Chains A and B, each alone.
Chain A
Amino acid sequence: MMGFDFSQIGPALPGLWDGMALTLKLLLMAVGGGVALGTVLALLRLSSNPLLSGIAKFYVNYFRSIPLLLVITWFYFVVPLVLRWITGEFVAVGAFTSCLVAFMMFEAAYYAEIVRAGIQSISKGQLNAAYALGMTYGQAMRLIILPQAFRKMMPLLLQQSIILFQDTSLVYAVGLMDFLNTARSKGDIVGQPHEFLILAGVVYFVISFGASFSVKRLQKRLAV
């Protein structure tokens, strides 16, 4: 058996905070982009045009059947190549950007299903009433349907974002210094890898547990 010595965690806190800041930045940007793209996908999926809804359906099924880690690894290599192909010149793309694109595109598939269910739960009369008032499709969606749908699906979107928060730790695969990777390397440097790993686990647990607890309370308050 071995004893644990957490003495080196105090001095490492500023570095650990930098890692957590990167994790949170990645999370917020990925949630924003993922929800936006997911909403577009959901609207396409519900469109009466079979081609558009077919594309959205394929997109969602495709990303839901492959591992996130595969997407992260692949995008790490592919995003720079694709950008060079689009812009015609070499652009330096860091691991952060390619991870962000991977998370946004992957999570959009999951958000799309939530948004679709949210839109479908709004009574059809709302859309008809909006049309009767002379609104266009865009106005009806933006002003009538989506605000109600988002209110209904807020708990689910947040729950999915908590899962995304945990999944950001997978950027370890491409060497991005997020919270987990920072904790691992700090622990290795000071020779206390176990203690820093436990710390990482505790921090992730406290944040996720606290967040899902609040989401459950929010759900009760929002319940009609």
Chain B
Amino acid sequence: MNYNWDWNVFFKSTGIGNEIYLDWFVSGLGWTIAVALAGWIIALALGSLLGVMRTLPNKTASAIATGYVELFRNVPLLVQLFIWYFLVPDLLPEKAQIWFKQDLSPATSAYLSVVVCLGLFTAARVCEQVRTGIQALPKGQNYAAMAMGFQQAQVYRYVLLPQAFRVIIPPLTSEFLNIFKNSSVASLIGLMELLAQTKQTAEFSANLFEAFTLATVLYFVLNMSLMKLMGWVETRLRVPGMMGGAK
């Protein structure tokens, strides 16, 4: 293939200020991490709540959570993102609309939309994992806690959740990695995260292969290091006495 590889391109000036192309990638990676982490906080909090609701004896609570999961799992992520970015702001009261559309910088309003979108989208998946984790515990745990006079909230707080969360760390890790990958949709509403910066570099410098190779490597390394980190967390928190548990 007649392609002139030029790996020095990342240290060349972009022609805008004193920036070099590598700066764009650093800033893009920063946005990707900022989106994923903020979205993950929402996903984990809301997902845990919904997961608990699905296991409650109360029919209404569990129906609400089930409906939520079905709704957010069966609409494509991109459609959800467009709804949060284009549609929902128009339904807000007038003052909030002006704030969202005029007072905020375009990057901030895109950021807010993506974080809410990814948070609620991933919450449905986290919910399923939390529910599975709770249901996988022996029923005796629940009964024993009730026999000791715990109220329902206490049963969850002190007995069920601490065990369930430690069991579901591996599936939660894969959702955690997914939110990093899914954050790339932010590039479609103009947030300059890693993928958007890659496209911009490819277009500005015409060094298409180098730009996309670097992006691939960055996503790959990010993924691998998070996996290693979560593997370490999992070993630290293993429940003694369970399969593969700590000694």
Question: Which A residues form the contact surface with B (CB < 8 A)?
Answer: 1-2, 62, 65-70, 73-74, 77-78, 81-82, 85, 166-167, 169-170, 172-173, 180, 184, 193-194, 197-198, 200-201, 204-205, 208-209, 212
The 3 closest A-B pairs by CB, nearest first: A65-B223, A208-B74, A166-B76
Which of B79, B199, B202 has a CB less than 8 Å from the CB of A201?
B79
Given A2-B90, A74-B212, decide whether A172 and B181 contact each other with a Cβ distance below 8 A.
Answer: no
Given A70-B219, A193-B86, decide whether A77 and B208 contact each other with a Cβ distance below 8 A.
Answer: yes
Establish whether residues B79 and A169, one from each chain, have CB atoms under 8 Å apart when the complex forms: yes
Q: 1/0 per position for B65-83, CB-CB distance to A under 8 A?
A: 0000011011111111011
Distance (whole angstroms) from the CB of B209 to the closest CB of chain A: 8
Q: Which residue of B lies closest to A211 (CB)?
A: B74
Contacts of A208 in B (CB 8 A): 73-75
Contacts of A68 in B (CB 8 A): 181
User: How far is A78 from B210 in the complex, measured between Cα atoms in Å?
Assistant: 12
Distance (whole angstroms) from the CB of A189 to the closest CB of chain B: 15
Establish whether residues A180 and B219, one from each chain, have CB atoms under 8 Å apart when the complex forms: no
Contacts of A172 in B (CB 8 A): 78, 188
Residues of B76-96 at the interface with A, using a CB-CB cut-off of 8 Å, are 76-80, 82-83, 86-87, 90-91
- 14 new A-B contacts at CB < 8 Å, known A170-B185, A197-B83: A1-B91, A65-B177, A65-B181, A66-B219, A67-B182, A69-B195, A77-B212, A81-B1, A166-B75, A169-B77, A184-B82, A198-B83, A201-B79, A208-B75
Contacts of A1 in B (CB 8 A): 91
User: How far is A169 from B77 in the complex, measured between Cα atoms in Å?
Assistant: 9
Establish whether residues B78 and A170, one from each chain, have CB atoms under 8 Å apart when the complex forms: yes
Establish whether residues A66 and B83, one from each chain, have CB atoms under 8 Å apart when the complex forms: no
Establish whether residues B195 and A73, one from each chain, have CB atoms under 8 Å apart when the complex forms: yes
Establish whether residues A204 and B219, one from each chain, have CB atoms under 8 Å apart when the complex forms: no
Establish whether residues A65 and B220, one from each chain, have CB atoms under 8 Å apart when the complex forms: yes
User: How far is A65 from B76 in the complex, measured between Cα atoms in Å?
Assistant: 20
Distance (whole angstroms) from the CB of A165 to the closest CB of chain B: 8
Distance (whole angstroms) from the CB of A143 to the closest CB of chain B: 35
Contacts of B80 in A (CB 8 A): 201
Distance (whole angstroms) from the CB of B117 to the closest CB of chain A: 13
Establish whether residues A65 and B1, one from each chain, have CB atoms under 8 Å apart when the complex forms: no
Establish whether residues B202 and A77, one from each chain, have CB atoms under 8 Å apart when the complex forms: yes
User: How far is A81 from B77 in the complex, measured between Cα atoms in Å?
Assistant: 30
User: How far is A1 from B97 in the complex, measured between Cα atoms in Å?
Assistant: 10
10 contacts between A and B (CB under 8 A): A2-B90, A65-B219, A66-B220, A70-B215, A73-B195, A85-B1, A184-B82, A197-B79, A197-B86, A198-B87
User: How far is A108 from B223 in the complex, measured between Cα atoms in Å?
Assistant: 19
User: How far is A172 from B189 in the complex, measured between Cα atoms in Å?
Assistant: 11
Establish whether residues B181 and A66, one from each chain, have CB atoms under 8 Å apart when the complex forms: yes
User: How far is A208 from B79 in the complex, measured between Cα atoms in Å?
Assistant: 13
User: How far is A69 from B77 in the complex, measured between Cα atoms in Å?
Assistant: 12
Establish whether residues A66 and B216, one from each chain, have CB atoms under 8 Å apart when the complex forms: yes
Which of B73, B75, B181, B199 has a CB less than 8 Å from the CB of A73?
B199
Establish whether residues A205 and B90, one from each chain, have CB atoms under 8 Å apart when the complex forms: no
Contacts of B212 in A (CB 8 A): 70, 73-74, 77-78
Distance (whole angstroms) from the CB of A166 to the closest CB of chain B: 4
Q: Which residue of A lies closest to B199 (CB)?
A: A73
Establish whether residues B78 and A67, one from each chain, have CB atoms under 8 Å apart when the complex forms: no
Distance (whole angstroms) from the CB of B180 to the closest CB of chain A: 8
Distance (whole angstroms) from the CB of B86 to the closest CB of chain A: 7
Contacts of B183 in A (CB 8 A): 67
Distance (whole angstroms) from the CB of B152 to the closest CB of chain A: 30
User: How far is A170 from B198 in the complex, measured between Cα atoms in Å?
Assistant: 17
